[in-house]
Amino acid sequence: MSSAGVPGRVAVLSRVRNALGGSRAEAERRAAVAARLGQPVQPLVPERARREKDQQRRDFRAFLEGQSATVVEVANGAEVPAAVGRYLRGANLPLRVRAGGDPYLAGLPWQSEPALERLPGPAAAGDEVGLSHAEAAIAETGTLVLASGPDNPVTLDFLPETHIVVVKDEHLVGGYEGAWEKIRARYGRRQMPRTVNFVSGPSRTADIGGQLVMGAHGPRAPVRHPRARLTGRPSATAADAAVEAALQLCLAALAIAGRLVAGAVSFPAGRPARPLGARLRRRQQPTQCDEQGQRAGGKQQISATSHGAHSWPAPRRQRPRRAGQQRRAWPLLRSQP
């Protein structure tokens, strides 16, 4: 398929081999490589990645809050839906989240928040809030570990402006090494899911005049990580203990303060609802996605939406709905490359 193909491969590998002295000591080198790949050398782990659990929780919170994120702790999983609802209402966000298919999230008592709508599937351009479940949380730098999979679309982490992440207390680890352990335990040695995202705050850039601005491309509203701490109920039975353990949740929520200022500056009261006068296009029936959020042709047909600096957190304006304008039909030659 490629024009360089096999000759290119041979050329590069042989050049590299020759640069390293040809076949001299090749057997030893290969043995050393195989050894390191099979049994990774333990790295130098900084002290801050080796702290005890309580300090880990404090560190995790402190780092994330330092990145303009909010961390919310809840006692157990049952309280997650209420915490999510509370946050959305408090931030004047619509009670609609794109949640993916994560079974743990799906199994939470969402009936406690009947007004809250959960959409399945990958993120669409019009989604404002994404809800994910993290594999792990890393205390050393306030980092969430999100893995792609049937239940966790990667686009959830980046397309919606607000990202809420649920992580369990038991999945909080001290340092990156703990994250690798969890990944190997779940996916196998030398295996990775399609994507692992380390997320350490909301999107930002300092490319304009060296000033830091939030929400460059990914979530503007910081990631929310509900965090739960188990209240000290003694477990009467083994079953109770299991439930208790399962209910130890970390919920962290992040809320940005900066966007309030940005919103106020760009949109004085009374300004019409179209930020920057962009033409807004909206999907015809945003809730009528199939299981995978796919449209005909194997690729979601999505329309662009303005993500301009809207007034925030002013009441969600009604977005003018421009009928009918799909972004583009994908070309039909969509053979597997």
Partner 1 sequence: MKLTSPAFKENATAALADAQLQRALSSVGPGLAARRGAARAGLPEFEALREEGRRIKDHTLANLDAYLEAFESKASEAGSVVHFAPSAVDARAIILEICRHAGARVVTKGKSMISEEIGLNDALEAAGLEVVETDLGEYLIQIRGETPSHIIAPAIHLTQEQVEADFRRLHTSLPKERQLIEPAQLVAEARQILREKFLAADVGITGANFLIAETGTSVIVTNEGNGDLTQSLPRVHIVLASIEKMVPTLEDVGTLIRLLARSATGQEISTYTTFSTGPRRAGDPDGPQACHVVILDNGRSELLASQFREVLRCIRCGACMNHCPVYGAIGGHAYGWVYPGPIGAVLTPALIGVRNAGHLPNASTFCGRCEAVCPMKIPLPGLMRHWREEEFRLGASSLAARLGLKVWATFARRPRLYHAAARLGMPLLSLFARRGALKLPLAGSWTRHRDLPAPQGRTFQALWADTRAGVPR
Q: How would DSSP label each residue in 124-181?
A: -TT--EEEEE-SEEETTTTEEEEE-BTTB-GGGGTSSSEEEEEE-GGGEESSHHHHHH
Distance between CA atoms of 134 and 152, rounded to whole angstroms?
9
Contacts of 101 (CB under 8 A, 6+ apart): 120, 121, 150, 151, 152, 291
Q: Which is nearer to partner 1, 155 or 248 (CB)?
A: 155
Least distance CB 66 / partner 1 (angstroms) = 9
Least distance CB 135 / partner 1 (angstroms) = 12
Least distance CB 336 / partner 1 (angstroms) = 7
Q: Which long-range contacts (CB under 8 A, 24 or more apart) does 24-29 make?
A: none
Q: Which is nearer to partner 1, 104 or 306 (CB)?
A: 306
Least distance CB 238 / partner 1 (angstroms) = 34
Q: Which is nearer to partner 1, 30 or 233 (CB)?
A: 30
Q: Which is nearer to partner 1, 75 or 294 (CB)?
A: 294
Under 8 Å between Cβ of 274 and 106 = no
Least distance CB 245 / partner 1 (angstroms) = 27
Least distance CB 85 / partner 1 (angstroms) = 25
Q: Which is nearer to partner 1, 237 or 288 (CB)?
A: 288
Structure tokens at 23: 């076949």
Under 8 Å between Cβ of 140 and 174 = yes
Torsion of CA 248, 218, 293, 151, to 10 degrees: -30
